[in-house]
Amino acid sequence: MCGLLGLICATESEAVAARDAVANALRCQRHRGPDESDTWADAEVVYGFNRLAFIDVEHSHQPLVWGPPEAPARYTLNFNGEIYNYREIREQLTRQFGTRFNTEGDGEAIVAAYHHLGAAAVPKLRGMFAFLIWDSQEKVVFGARDPFGIKPLYYAAGLGGVAFSSEKKSLLELSRTLGVREELDRKALQHYLILQYVPEPESLHAGIRRVESGTSFRVVPGGEVEFTRYFHPQFTTKPAENPEELYERIADVLRDSVSKHMISDPDVTVGAFLSGGIDSTATATLAKQHNPNLIAFTSGFQRDGYSEVDVAAETAAAIGVRHVVRNVTADEMMEALPLITWYLDDPVADPALVPLWFIAREARKHVKAVLSGEGADELFGGYTIYGEGLSLEPFEKVPGGVRKLMGKVSTKIPEGVRGKDLLRRGALTIEQRYYGNARNFRDEQLRALIKDYDESVGFMDVTAPWYEVSRDWDPVARMQHIDLFTWLRGDILTKADKVTMANSLELRVPFLDPEVFKVAASIPVEQKLAHGTTKYALRQALAKIIPGHVLNRPKLGFPVPIRVWLKAEMYDWARGIIADSQTDSLLDKRVVLDLLEEHRADRFDRSRQLWAVLVFMLWHGIFVENRIKVDVPEPVYPVKL
C-alpha cells in the first residue's frame, strides 16, 4: 500500500528537467507511504514512490527494476497495493518459464507475469492494485487498476507529457510542468450534486481524469493513453440447484479470501474494523483464526440510534478479540472536516467518512493494516432498495402512456404524502429511476440551486453503459451491476482508501476478491432477498461462523447524526461555511440557506443535501479559492505492541 507518481515525457530532456518537480509533487502524498520515498528516471520516464511496507520489507524497494537474464533492467515498476496470490504466481512462472526473482515480494510477480504474458497477466492478479510498468526496450508504459477500484489512479495529459498518480494533489502540483487545465468541471459538479460523489472517470478539475476500475492502458512517450477494459462482471439468473452446496461454497471462498488478506511480514500487525453488521463481523471472526491477538476497532456516537458500539462490543467479546472504541463528537467532526476534505482530493458527501477517519487514526496507533467488510452488500444483495427492483417489476409491463399518466398524478400529490414516491418511481423504467444508493437532489431542485444548470447532464450519463450490458438480467442483478460501477467505487471505496491512507493505514477488503465475486455472482435472486431479509445466502453461509446476535440483525448503515446536529450544534457552523464560500458563480446560496432553514424548522430532512453542498464549499475553499488552509500532520506510526 503506497503512493505512486509517474510522468511520461515526450523527450529525454523534458524528463531530466522534470525530476525535481516529481519529487516535490510526491511530498503531498507522503501519508500514503511514510516508510520510504524515492524517485527514479530513465529516458522519457520519471517515477516517484512513497512506500508503506508490508511484504519483504527489507528488499522490495520501489521503483522496482527487473528483467530477464538477457536484459535485467528492462522493466521498472511503480506499484500501489497488495497481490494476495503473488506466491502462486511466482511459483507458476518459475515452473513454466524458469523465471528468476531477486526479492520475496509481490511486485516482482506483477512485472514478471507481464513480461511472459503481456496484458493477459492482469486478470490473474488477485488483489488491489494500481501500477505502471516502463518497458525500456519497447518504449511503452503499461498499467492497470484492480477490477473493483479499491486503489485509486488519476491521470493528466498536457503538452509536458502524461502523468499518473495515486492522488490528484500531486497532479495539481505538476500542473505547470504538464500544462493541464485546472478549471472546474461543471458537468462533474452537477453529477456530484446528484450522486454525492464524482463518478469515474471524472474529477472536479477538467484537466485531470481517473483510470476506471477494471481497466488497463498503454502509453508511449509523446502519445495518447489507450485504455482497455479487462473486467466484465456477469451475474447469473439460474436458480440454485443445491442451496446447501451454495452456502458451503460461500463460506469456503470467504475463509480462503480472509486467509490471503492476512499476509504480511511477521512484524507487521493486521487488525479489523468492526461494526454491528454481518460483513465486518465475518471478516473479524475469520481473521481471528489467523491472528489470535487480533484487535478490532469501532467508531460511534454517544447518541441513541446512531451507534453500533454496544453490538460491536458484544461481538468482540463473543469472538474473543480486544476491542478499541472511538466515539466522535459534533465539534470534532466540524474541526476535522476541512483536513479530511483535503485528503479526499474530490468531495464525497458521505458523512460516514468522518468517523471512519477518526477510527483509522486510532487504529494506526496499534496496527498497520485492517480488514473491513466493504463490498458485501453489492456482491451479495445487501441493500433493502434492491427489493424495489422486484416490487416495481410489474410496473414494467404497464403501457407507456399509462405510466406517463401515473407520473403526472404523482406531481400533484404534496411532498411528504405517503404513496407519492411509489407512484412516481413506478411510472419510471428501472433505467430511469435507479442510479445507485445515492439519492440526493432531484432535477427540479438542481435547476434552482445550480447557476447555468445544464438540462442535458443527468445520472443516465453515468449509468446508461452499465444498463446496456445487463439488458437481459433480473432487476436485482441489474441494480447490483449499477452499484459496482457507481456507488461502490465512487463512494464506498473512495472514502475507505482516502481516510485510511490519510492515516498511513492499509485497508483490505476480503469481500472484493475475484474468487469471492465468482461465487457471489452465481447466487440467484431468490437467495439474495428472501424471508424478509437481504443477503440471505450469505447469512446462511455464515450461520455457523459468526455470533447469533448479529446474523439476522437489520442493517443500520453506519448512520451519522448530522440530521439532528445540523439543527443545533452544526447550525451556526453551516451558516458560516455558506456565508464565506466564494461559490456564488456556481450555486444560488439563497437556495442553500432556504434548505438549512427548512431543515432546522423540521419541515423536511435536508441533511444529506446540505452536507453535499457544505463539503463542496469546503473543497472549493481549499482547492479553488486557496482561502482555507489546512494543517497537514506528519504521518503517524503505530505503537509497538
Q: Per the annotation, where are the binding residues for L-glutamine?
A: 106
Q: Are strands 36-42 and 64-66 parallel, antiparallel or unpaired?
A: unpaired
The catalytic position among 1, 2, 188, 438 is 2
**Residue 370 β-bridge partners:** 271, 507
CA-to-CA dists, residue 72 to 42, 113, 115, 134, 137, angstroms? 15, 15, 12, 13, 11
Amino acid at 278: I
Helices in 239-393 by DSSP H: which ranges? 243-261, 278-288, 309-319, 330-344, 353-363, 376-380, 386-391
Measure CA 286 to chain center. 23
Contacts of residue 312, Cβ cutoff 8 Å, sequence gap at least 6: 274, 275, 276, 296, 298, 300, 323, 325
Give the sheet arrangement for strand 295-300, strand by strand. Answer: 322-327, 295-300, 270-273, 369-371, 506-508
Query: Annotated binding residues, as ranges?
Result: 106, 372-373
**Cα 116 to Cα 125: distance, rounded to the nearest angstrom:** 14
Distance in angstroms (rounded) separating the CA atoms of residues 327 and 305: 14
CB of 327 closer than 8 Å to CB of 310? no
Residues annotated within a binding site for ATP: 372-373
C-alpha neighbours within 13 Å on the C-beta side of residue 62: 34
Contact 370, 507 (CB under 8 A): yes
Q: How many residues does the chain have?
A: 641
**Known catalytic membership, residue 28:** no
Instruction: Check if the beta carbon of residue 112 is closer than 8 Å to that of residue 103.
Output: no
Spell 600-618 as b/e; 16+ CB within 10 A means b.
eeeeeebbbbbbbbbbbbb
Q: Which grid cell is 453?
A: 444548470
Beta strands in 386-524 (DSSP E): 506-508
Contact 316, 347 (CB under 8 A): no
Please name which of 204, 49, 229 lies closest in space to residue 623, comparing C-alpha atoms: 204
**C-beta separation of 14 from 166 below 8 A:** no
Helix/strand/coil (H, E, C) string of 103-156?
A: CCCCHHHHHHHHHHHHHHHHHHCCEEEEEEEEECCCCEEEEEECCCCCCCCEEE
Considering only the C-alpha atoms of the chain, give the largest distance between any 2 of them, rounded to a whole number of Å: 76
CB count within 10 Å of CB 65 equals 18
From edge to edge, which strands make up the β-sheet containing 208-210?
36-42, 45-51, 2-8, 161-165, 154-158, 208-210
C-alpha 369/C-alpha 522 separation (Å) is: 30
Which of 133, 222, 134, 206 lies closest to 171 in space, CA to CA?
206
Query: Which amino acid, residue 479?
Result: M
Which residues are the active-site residues? 2
